[in-house]
Amino acid sequence: MLTRRNFLGSATALGTNIFIPSRAGALQEGEPSLTAQSAALHRAAHQLMDAPLVFADPLALRIIGPERRRRLEANLDRHRQPASRATRAFIVARSRLAEDELAAAQGVDQYVVLGAGLDTFGCRNPRAGSLQVFEVDHPATQGWKRRQLQEERIEIPHSLHFVAVDFEKESLADRLRSSGFDSAAPAFISWLGVTMYLGRDAVMQTLRFVAEGCARGSQIVFDFSLSDALLRESERIRRDERARKVASFGEPWISTFHPEELANDLRAMGFSTAVVLSAQDLNGRYFLGRSDGLRVIGSSGRIMSARA
């Protein structure tokens, strides 16, 4: 089974060293990470179930394929449950935030999607003539996604670059450069739904890659899980339930962070700004005035936006 931890599972994963993977599960060629599939299903369910849309993605239902779409449509009641609605709200809010921040970034013509999974931005890029998109993922997940795009006849623009990285043999820096990435020019990086599956050292090494390996003015948006001490008991129980579920198919949550300490760590690395967004912040931006009650509820996750 391909897991997020298999994909980016050591402190050297994003450096120039050879990656020695953590064996959280055996890789199964041709199938994407289950958590990548789950996030894609939440984005697809949002297109069917919620109005107005927080995150409009006209390709979300196509990228999952016709069989997964049929199963989704036949089981919408599962996605109406409070826990599923709260998870869906967080997933669509983080995707919307990343793309909003990208749109607002000045002088940035490179977008790196780390652990892209079934993200579709590269195929609906409104700036395809000028914004180069680099999707980074494990070869198995990326190969499966490319077959999905072909089968669904989703056009792949020239601005989209697939950067398949086998970290047992390659480094991200080398593969990005060979794919046309310019480390001397600012870049925007999104890193969604990954940090909780990695050890702390791996997370910090990734952030150092942005601070030290990318040009000044580069920006990263990523989500992370809160330290247990910062959660109310009800929030901790909900997170433990979700954690047990993902651990059951080989993708355990590993790392948690204190927001202020993490922001201080980023500034110490050389980031000029580090802003944390809470559930309240996301609700204020994206969920006000809704009649359906969709919102991020007591989220144990946070989103960080940091600029080098």
Ranges of residues in the chain whose predicted pLDDT is under 50: 1-2, 5, 8-28
Distances (CA, A) of 170 to 129, 174, 200: 29, 7, 21
At 130-186, the pLDDT tens digits run 999 999 998 888 999 999 999 999 999 999 999 998 766 778 888 999 999 999 999
Query: What pLDDT does residue 29 have?
Result: 52
In terms of residue numbers, what domain contains 9? 4-307
Give the three-state DSSP class for 308. coil
Q: How many structural domains comprise the chain?
A: 1
Query: What pLDDT does residue 19 have?
Result: 25
- Which sign does the torsion angle of CA 96, 37, 152, 119 carry? positive
Cα–Cα distance between 51 and 135 in angstroms, integer? 29
Query: What pLDDT does residue 16 have?
Result: 30
Global confidence as pTM: 0.88
Of residues 174, 210, 184, 55, the one with CA closest to residue 107? 184
Question: 10 Å Cβ neighbour count for 98?
Answer: 26
What CATH number does residue 78 fall under? 3.40.50.150
